[in-house]
């Protein structure tokens, strides 16, 4: 998202991990879960970082996660929480329930 808080979160993350190409999409601010999936299907490469807003991010995590992992995000996540999901395949093949929720990183207290 191009919102100020999302850009601040991105700046903090990019100080800790190497980020290649980056861009901000105003559409992520009001996006629905399916919009996030559609966006992700356009990605190239092996990894992607999407910084967005609640409840969209936890909702997208819920939709993407396999059923065994959905309880972790079923009721939303706190601000500044990171979901790390993995899946086998190409981005264009990303579908609901195709990911494993590997890590749920909550912000420091």
Tell me, what's the pLDDT at 7? Answer: 83
Q: What is the mean pLDDT of residues 29-52?
A: 90
Tell me, what's the pLDDT at 89? Answer: 94
pLDDT confidence tier of residue 43, bands split at 50, 70 and 90:
very high
Q: What is the mean pLDDT of residues 79-84?
A: 85
pLDDT confidence tier of residue 101, bands split at 50, 70 and 90:
very high
pLDDT confidence tier of residue 78, bands split at 50, 70 and 90:
confident
Residue 92 has pLDDT above 90, yes or no: yes
> Can you give the residue ranges of every domain in the chain?
4-105
Identify any residues that bridge with 101 across adjacent strands, giving them in sequence order.
85
Where does 4-105 sit in CATH, by number? 3.40.50.1240
Could you give the percent of the chain with pLDDT greater than 70?
A: 99
């Amino acid at each position: 998202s191009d919102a100020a808080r999302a850009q601040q979160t991105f700046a903090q993350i990019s100080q800790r991990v190497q980020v290649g190409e980056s861009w901000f999409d105003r559409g992520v601010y009001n996006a629905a879960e399916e919009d996030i999936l559609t966006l992700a299907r356009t990605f190239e490469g092996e990894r992607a970082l999407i910084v967005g807003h609640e409840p969209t991010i936890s909702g997208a995590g819920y939709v993407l996660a396999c059923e065994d992992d959905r309880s972790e995000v079923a009721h939303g996540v706190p601000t500044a929480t990171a979901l790390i999901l993995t899946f086998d395949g190409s981005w264009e093949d990303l579908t609901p329930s195709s990911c494993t929720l590997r890590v749920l990183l909550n912000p420091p207290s």
